[in-house]
Structure 1
Amino acid sequence: MSDNKETPRVRYADEAQSRPDNPRRSLHRTASNSSMSIHSVHSRVAAPEAVLPITYRTLSYNIEEDLKGAAVNKKDAKNIRGLEELDWHLISVDELYNRLSTSVSQGLSAEQVRRRTTEYGKNKPTPPPSGMFRKIMGYIFGGFGPLLFVGCILVFISWKPLGDPPAIANLALAIVLGAVFVIQAAFNAWQDWSSSRVMASITTMLPDECTVVRDNKQEWMTAIELVPGDIIKIKQGNKLPSDIRLIQVSSDAKFDRSILTGESEPVQGTVDSTDKNYLETRNIGLQGTHCISGTATGVCIATGDNTVFGRITGLTNKPRHEFTPLQKEIIRFVLIIMSFIATVVVLNIILWWDLTYPHSELVKLTLIRSAWLRKDHPDWINVPLLIVNCVSVGIAFIPEGLPVAIAMSLTIGANIMRKNKILCKSLATVETLGSVSVICSDKTGTLTKNEMFVTDSFTGGKQCTEEAARKAILEANDATNGPNKAMDQLRRVGGLCNAAEFDASTVNFPVSQMKMFGDPTDQAILRFSQTLGSVSKLRDDTKKLFEIAFNSRNKFMIRIMHSLDAGAEDMLYIKGAPDVLLPRCGSAIQTDGSIKPLSSVDLTQIESVKNKWSSGGKRVILVAQKSLGPNAGNLLSSSDPEKAVMAEARENLTLVGLVGLIDPVRDEIPTVIDTLRTAGIRVMMVTGDFKLTAQAIATDCGIIKTPPALIHGIAELDRDFTAPDDLSEKPENLRALVISGPELITLNDSQWEQLCRYEEIVFARTTPEQKLRIVKEFQARENIVSMTGDGVNDAPALKAADVGVALGSGSDIAIEAADMVLLDSFAAIVEAVKYGRVVFDNLKKTIVYLLPAGSFSELWPVMANVILGVPQVLSSFLMIIICLFTDAAGAITLAYEQPEQDVLLRPPRVPKKDRLVNTRLILHAYGFLGIYECLLSFVMAFWYMSRRGIPFSAMVFKYGDMDPKYDQDYVAEITNKASSIYFVNLVVIQFFNLFATRTRRLSIFQQPPIFNKATQNPAIFVAIVFALVIVFIFNYIPGIQDTVATATVPAEYFFLPVAFGLGLLLLDESRKYCVRRWPKGLLAKLAW
């Protein structure tokens, strides 16, 4: 349609339709901004945008004060000067065009774009300051760095000056701790770089395109290519790619500025200035904000750092951090370990304390007079040795491999998801997916292909297919049949009351190959109309006077059109949901073009057709019209034209016909739904479609498997329902439920309690507020909810969900609100859930693997040394080697473990019950594995000493005062070798513990580590070789032996640990068999 045939700038529409009500808050957590804000920050590190509203409001206030002549401080004056001098909002549209050398119809030329790109640069902000000093401090002292640093200093002091004589082993230990401290800092730096690279690659893969007019053509391009002067087309759901001056708006055009203002109330877009303050006027669209309703056209006036967003982010690069659920679990575990460390260290000091020092009797009684070592055996443990023992205990208890394993697990998970075209905005999202118990999914574009096409039409009292409709039009001039004016009018209204547009580059293509811009439903109807005749000619012969865009509340679209033919009447065209529009119709057009009042028989027929199509999974659109006489000016010149038009459309409409559209279910969806159901996840459809349509699609998808006769509705929801104490029980009679949005409004808490227990649920005819309410109701009942969607209507619920999942083909506003983006299809959600569970499983396995040797089995040699007075049969140096090298290598390999075969056969974990570290895990790690490894290692060490002539009885309770017949140098030599044997025994048994810990319930034969691509983990064998190399280095190289007090271990002391390891593996395999065989038995209840 020619530009001069449109109303210059403003298209009126219903103002109230896009204003969201304030939904009630989540019952179990809070999030930033308002509950309708689309910028979700829960479950991930808060971005710099978290402080944008404060800076925005400060700048706005300062501009206001300066405009009034009030004084502002120099710093603020500098910040506001650039914004205050902007006058884009004050100049006329014509002056805007002249200043930027552009026009709304032509846009910029290629040469203009080239010059302006050179002048202004790309449309991207300058990266914020790196804060390198703070980052480096974080690398050095993050994680367990402080403990390693303090331990290194204390052990070094124990060497000199406290050492008398200085023990070279203490120096070696200090050097090792220092080296590990540096290595950890280097790893932290590498991990930060690696994860930032992953997140950066994800950002570049997210869609960020816009519609621009250049060289008289409308085209898609990336936002980074924009330059000042570009003509940008904005529609509902778009994120504004730059600052724009609005030149055309529909009256329902509203913008969500909450990212800048912190306020959820949408701002009405206008063409004329509403405020002298650039930040407050409504004719400026700001980069990063969203169009939440209506349409608009704007001229790009600022890009990159020159935008308001770019200016403010330059002032607000101070991100704040919030703990994610996984971080809280890790902190909880660290606190448990720290309490163990504090207890054991204090106990060591108490036992060592010299009571000959002057103390009060109260202190002596408090120590229970048990601290006899320093008093009765002053030469047994001196101060340097006490310090080394305390450091050793501390290092032993801390699983140094855990931070590496956590970082590797999350990064590996994110990379695997990226390969599956799943993009996580935050690494923490990876783990949260493993807890999801409910998935609320939108229908269109998520479960279906979003490839709408018309299959049937109904007009003049007759049904026909698309092909039959085309034939009827072709026979319009047939003298026998006469013109089918009803079908021709259906074509006319479908083409004119339509927001879709043809791509100018494909207008000469066959209809089936034409590309279009717009909503899929509008595209399908426009294609249908074009099939029946030229829509472009219709649009050229008419002028649009008024428009109310379709939205999810009204569920219809209105256009008032003026024909350019002399004497023609102005017409109100409307299309939308039949259940909304049919009651407004009083007549219907007939085949010959005559108008006939609707009878009860007609209404019955129409309802029958609608229900038949809906039951077949088709979306039904009703098309109607109303004559407004030769001039609609009186209607539009009223004080509130939107209200007047809405009132005019409430009655006496003439039914033109019905259109049936189908959006096929994605081929893979039924299999995906079955897989998720097997994994204990309930998938629910949340859609705006009619009940019967939604139910039919849900049945095709596999969301509903219950026979239609057994599907419940609102009538089966008891208003006096009382939930049982055990909510895990799912009664057989609560199988399937189909309920509409209007019905949801009437539910009380008892009915919601009952509703949330159904296995199969379809929510039809829902609004954005109702989708949000659904998410929060399930969350309030301790469900971990994922919301998937791709439209504007889904954004509030996406933001509120524990894991918001958007499709890459979805609207900008949905992608912004989501935590995760599926670039391919909904089928990828299965992989996302799988690896979300794998991350948590692998972290538990890492902890189970690290605790027995690196904590429990290292503690008791120290305690035996202090309490029983026997030599310490595992040196402090070798304790550190186990923790930082041999065990750490194995722990890292567990991050690479493939999903267990039953990972999607288990129900999702309940975060409040299935903790990362719980009593069952501690019992398994210490009570079973720890005792087994520790006891056998003691036996091996003392058996060797006994074979070398130093029986256990000669050492126990001697505290170094052994019989003179035992040469002290000989005892020291044998003790060093016994320490090396204890060390080797632990390392070798841990090899088998590594194999045992790979699975929580499955046998090693069900999850083999080799020869099975789906389960293999070659990294395990690399870790074993690495550990053996470490053993060789510290036990077989003479120079190192003398320095760190180790010795060569006889071969027989390698073979016996192998037998012990096989025994451990056999015992654990037997335990797992019992768990699988008797899932409700005692061992199953104790299983970690």
Structure 2
Amino acid sequence: MQDLKDWHSQHSEAVLKQFEANPERGLSPHQVDRQQAQFGPNAITKHDGDGPLKRFALQFHQPLVYILLSAVVVTLALQEWVDSIVIFAVVLLNAIIGFVQESKAINAINALSGSIKSTATVIRDGVKSTIPAQQLVPGDIVLLQAGDKVTADMRLVKVRDLQVDESALTGESVPVEKNLEVLAKEALLGDRQNMAFSSTLVVYGTGVGVVTETGDNTEIGKISEMIATTPTLDTPLTKRIKQFSHVLLYAIVGLAAITLLIGYLHGQPLLDSFMAAVALAVGAIPEGLPAAVTIMLAIGVSLMAKRKAVIRNLPAVETLGSTTIICSDKTGTLTKNEMTVEQIYSGGLLYAVSGNGYDPEGEIQAQMPQSELQSAAVDPSTQPGLYATLRAGALCNDAQLMAPDTQNAQWRISGDPTEAALLVSAHKANMASGSLNAKRVDCIPFQSEYQYMATLDDVDDARIIHMKGSIESILPKCQFMLNEQGACVALDQEAIEQQVERLAAKGLRVLAFASKATSQEQSTLSHEDVAGELVFLGLQAMIDPPRPEAIEAVAACHRAGIRVKMITGDHALTATSIAKQLGIIQPQSAGKTVTGYQLGDLSEHEFSDIASYNDVFARVSPENKLQLVKSLQAEGHVVAMTGDGVNDAPALRRADIGVAMALNGTEVARDASDMMLTDDNFATVRAAVEEGRGVFDNLKKFIVWTLPTNGGEGLVILLAVLLGVSLPLLPVHILWVNMTTAILLGLMLAFEPREKGIMERPPYDPDAPIIDRILMWRILLVSSLLCITAFGLYELELMWGATEAQARTVAVAMFVVGEAFYLFNCRSLDRSVFSVGMFSNRWIWIGIALMMALQLLFTYQPLMNDWFQSAPISLEAWLRVIACGWLISLIVGVEKHLRGRNKTSQATSDTNTNRVSESV
């Protein structure tokens, strides 16, 4: 048997002949057995990859986890069982979260596998029967009718008004009318009208097809393979944490070795030197960091859920803050997914229709001929041509428009969205079909080969034929047209065709309307009755309009330095029109709309240039979407991808953050995503980006706050070793400070409100380190201040006769109080604590109160004294600790003020320089 493969470019007879299939009798049992042996079941192969145990074990294969596991070993060696349990619990929690996140890819494949577990009606050996879809083989003759799910790829051999919803596979926003015409080999997936594809849905008519591909060889099977072989990428945060972890790992090992060496050179016992090295390592390890990051991300998840964005992957919260490009699907995300009539042409006049969607609120306004200048609203009853056009749209119609009720707060439709749009435009003129005093006598349903629908109606004691359809099918049948006064005049075909071109150039879908009076005795309607002598009434032009909130969201993204690219399976004209309305294509933009066909034969370099330069991509395939995302990532961008269909799943999985639609999205898209929108609205993506930036800000503030603790503790140990004195802090003290302050103080930064202007600044550079030079200087400054004050107070207490336990308790208190004072300075990394507002985050005060209560227990509770080798201290010691803490806060505040003033002076200088340059 030959391997033709390009089934859409072959005659149906040739395809049948290749499979030795008879369209009337189907395959014989022998042929079915042979095909099943060759091709196997009609099922998508599962790609489970590594087993669950191995995937779970790999969660521990990270540098930061190695550090934490080392801390577990150290604390076990010190017989600090509670600390060991706490640190190991942190490690285990992070491993569980990572394991769950990684499992989403397998869920996506399983969802695909389940998507074809249904039945099919076939003809085999001359008998029609229903079989499980898994038993289909290439060459099977399959019968299709409205409501059927297509369960394999097939070349159509018969069609009757067949329309298939392919939105899940191609992104096409309206059902595709199928035919039997032979197509060019280069025809894109969305243009193959002679094929029916697995996972799509028959919405109208009937058809017969011969199965050409099953299982993994179907178009949905190819997408499954792409998902399975598309790796997920590290988020900017996980990349930065890995880099930070490597640096920290080397630093800790190096400092511990230096400490051991210095102790040995000072002649200290080897055990004492080893314990000092252990104390330094424990101090330098940020034990609370992974848990705090996880909890802060979880809080971000909760905040986003309130804004209708459900996060499935915790690091995705932070990724949103670094997003530089959003690749968005059009239908239902940027648009309302509700066809709306926007313009009407009749009697030589153009009318604008206001309002959006299926809500019949709006009015009809007359426009100057061939102009966009609107005048006041018109009364359709005084405009004969307009009235006749609206009436034809309402009567030649099988849809229903349903008003809000107790169970549904919005207007809904039943039937074809295009016909529903005609009902809505009639409602806006107070012309509901029920109020037109009309009764249908007979009807010619819409048929794809005729491209029109016709009804025979009794209207006000007259019998009238109404027609609607494509301009190509209606105009040749018309001999007359209505003028502005409603009189019949000779048809001006050229003027009508020019108006159609103008409307189509705006991306509008144009329907033509005509009518013909007939005798009262006529009771049936045939195609011969509408073959000629009709009166052209007018045109209604409609589009799936952009969401008003999406227009503002796109503008907000642009202000935030985020480019928005539309990647859709829809037609180029429609995509261009919507993109202009949304502001994706701006008047000064030199970019254009690129089609999937144009992307097909480009080199990698040419593809990269086009992907970066242009912002609208139409009629794209799943491979195109995936390639676009990869290309943009190769340029260094952090890419968010939105989608709802099976065709979007590979790109959703590859993107830095995949965003699926929860309302109307497919299960496959949802399982391949990191985030879901519960309202399917692009404006929610913008809100999520805003929340993501706030979460990343707070994460950065936490890291800047927590690292001085580790730095200060390490410096204290190193200084003690250099001076050859006893350690001011024991390992158990360090663990106490690190764990309690991280939870009770640092985590309070998670509730810090978003800073003003957060969406007016550019995205975070994904390649930039978490801590820049300025913040690194601040961390070193605070680390040094904590070291000096803690070590100084420790030595001072010993000098004044305090016991070693009391002196160490003072050193511990200095770290706790110092971190509490420093916490206020971390609420903003560049503004003073007073400009932020002392009481704008009440959780800060709650955390400090709880931490102080716990520290008092640490200091004065006998049991805690036994566990942690602490001791009660005097009021004077507390006053000295508080004074030092206040001093640290003051020094950091002055440093921030000086840097802010220098920054302002530099900005003023740059502005003046620019002005001089411009004047020159």
SS at match of 2:345: strand
Cα contact 1:424–1:820 (8 A) shared by 2: yes
Letter in 1 for 2:878: F
Cα contact 2:659–2:675 (8 A) shared by 1: yes
> 1:250-301, CA deviations, whole angstroms, 9 ceiling, x for partnerless residues?
7675979999xxxxxx9x999xxxxxxxxxxx99997xx4559998899xxx
SS at match of 1:821: strand
Cα contact 2:344–2:351 (8 A) shared by 1: yes
Equivalence for 1:337: 248
> 1:528-568, CA deviations, whole angstroms, 9 ceiling, x for partnerless residues?
58958699987953255546xxxxxxxxxx73779999xxx
Equivalence for 1:177: 83
Equivalence for 2:324: 437
1:658 aligns with 2:512: no
The equivalences for 1:902-917 within 5 A come to: 902-913=757-768, 915-917=769-771
Equivalence for 1:868: 723
Take 1:462 and 1:153, find their aligned partners in 2: how far apart are those partners?
84
Deviation at 1:408, TM superposition (A): 0.9
Equivalence for 1:523: 420
Deviation at 1:781, TM superposition (A): 4.1
What TM-score do the two structures reach when normalised by structure 2?
0.64
1:828 maps to which of 657, 670, 684? 684
> 1:109-164, CA deviations, whole angstroms, 9 ceiling, x for partnerless residues?
xxxxxxxxxxxxxxxxxxx9x9998899899999977656655555665xxxxxxx
1:884 aligns with 2:739: yes
> 1:36-90, CA deviations, whole angstroms, 9 ceiling, x for partnerless residues?
xxxxxxxxxxxxxxxxxxxxxxxxxxx9998689899xxxxxxx9xx79x9xxxx
| Number of aligned residue pairs | 757
1:922 aligns with 2:776: yes
1:559 maps to which of 451, 455, 473? 451
Take 1:342 and 1:454, find their aligned partners in 2: how far apart are those partners?
70
Equivalence for 1:1031: 855
Deviation at 1:997, TM superposition (A): 1.4
Take 2:696 and 2:234, find their aligned partners in 1: how far apart are those partners?
17
Equivalence for 1:1002: 831
Equivalence for 2:444: 542
Take 2:333 and 2:527, find their aligned partners in 1: how far apart are those partners?
41
Deviation at 1:527, TM superposition (A): 5.1
The equivalences for 1:574-589 within 5 A come to: 575=470
Take 1:505 and 1:702, find their aligned partners in 2: how far apart are those partners?
33
Equivalence for 1:837: 693
Equivalence for 1:457: 344
SS at match of 2:766: coil
1:1064 aligns with 2:905: no
Letter in 2 for 1:679: A
Deviation at 1:782, TM superposition (A): 3.3
Cα contact 1:874–1:979 (8 A) shared by 2: yes
Letter in 2 for 1:882: V
Cα contact 2:649–2:669 (8 A) shared by 1: yes
1:401 maps to which of 288, 291, 297? 288
Equivalence for 2:238: 327
Deviation at 1:1032, TM superposition (A): 2.8
> 1:986-1036, CA deviations, whole angstroms, 9 ceiling, x for partnerless residues?
1111101111112122322232352x3xxx141x33332343344333333
SS at match of 1:827: helix
1:766 aligns with 2:618: yes
SS at match of 1:1002: coil
CA 1:296/1:1030 → structure 2, altered by over 3 Å: closer, same or farther? farther
Equivalence for 1:946: 799
1:381 maps to which of 262, 269, 273? 269
Take 1:381 and 1:297, find their aligned partners in 2: how far apart are those partners?
90
Cα contact 2:648–2:669 (8 A) shared by 1: yes
CA 1:345/1:754 → structure 2, altered by over 3 Å: closer, same or farther? same
CA 1:455/1:575 → structure 2, altered by over 3 Å: closer, same or farther? same
Equivalence for 2:23: none
Cα contact 2:572–2:619 (8 A) shared by 1: no
Cα contact 2:394–2:432 (8 A) shared by 1: no
- Give the fraction of aligned pairs with identical amino acids, expressed as a percent: 24
Take 1:194 and 1:799, find their aligned partners in 2: how far apart are those partners?
15
CA 1:1023/1:296 → structure 2, altered by over 3 Å: closer, same or farther? farther
Equivalence for 1:1055: 879
Take 1:804 and 1:996, find their aligned partners in 2: how far apart are those partners?
35
Cα contact 1:582–1:622 (8 A) shared by 2: no
Take 2:466 and 2:692, find their aligned partners in 1: how far apart are those partners?
56
The equivalences for 1:928-939 within 5 A come to: 928-939=781-792
CA 1:194/1:233 → structure 2, altered by over 3 Å: closer, same or farther? same
SS at match of 1:426: coil
Equivalence for 1:716: none
Take 1:532 and 1:381, find their aligned partners in 2: how far apart are those partners?
97
1:900 maps to which of 755, 765, 769? 755
Cα contact 1:620–1:658 (8 A) shared by 2: no
Take 1:64 and 1:151, find their aligned partners in 2: how far apart are those partners?
67
1:979 maps to which of 808, 811, 818? 808
CA 1:1047/1:771 → structure 2, altered by over 3 Å: closer, same or farther? closer
Take 1:395 and 1:1045, find their aligned partners in 2: how far apart are those partners?
17
The equivalences for 1:686-705 within 5 A come to: 698=580
> 1:884-936, CA deviations, whole angstroms, 9 ceiling, x for partnerless residues?
223443233223333222422321111012x224554433312x111111122
The equivalences for 1:311-326 within 5 A come to: 323-326=234-237
CA 1:922/1:416 → structure 2, altered by over 3 Å: closer, same or farther? same
CA 1:820/1:241 → structure 2, altered by over 3 Å: closer, same or farther? farther
Q: What is the Cα-based RMSD across aligned positions, in Å?
A: 6.5
SS at match of 1:991: helix
> 1:388-418, CA deviations, whole angstroms, 9 ceiling, x for partnerless residues?
3333222222111111111112211111111
Take 1:563 and 1:1017, find their aligned partners in 2: how far apart are those partners?
69
Take 1:141 and 1:801, find their aligned partners in 2: how far apart are those partners?
24
Equivalence for 1:717: none
Equivalence for 1:203: none
Between stretches 982-991 and 897-906, larger displacement belongs to 897-906
Take 2:473 and 2:228, find their aligned partners in 1: how far apart are those partners?
55
Letter in 2 for 1:393: L
1:598 aligns with 2:422: no
Equivalence for 1:619: 508
1:681 aligns with 2:546: no
Letter in 2 for 1:681: I
Cα contact 1:399–1:847 (8 A) shared by 2: no
Equivalence for 2:708: 852
Take 2:76 and 2:693, find their aligned partners in 1: how far apart are those partners?
43
> 1:13-34, CA deviations, whole angstroms, 9 ceiling, x for partnerless residues?
x9589xxxxxxxxxxxxxxxxx
SS at match of 1:910: coil
> 1:499-520, CA deviations, whole angstroms, 9 ceiling, x for partnerless residues?
x8448999xxxxx97722344x
What TM-score do the two structures reach when normalised by structure 1?
0.56
Between stretches 802-811 and 340-349, larger displacement belongs to 802-811
SS at match of 1:541: strand
Take 1:418 and 1:983, find their aligned partners in 2: how far apart are those partners?
39
Equivalence for 1:428: 315
SS at match of 1:873: coil
Letter in 2 for 1:658: L
SS at match of 1:515: strand
Q: Which runs of 5+ in 2 are unaligned?
A: 1-6, 11-29, 106-113, 119-143, 171-175, 181-193, 209-217, 354-363, 367-377, 405-409, 458-464, 516-524, 529-533, 909-920
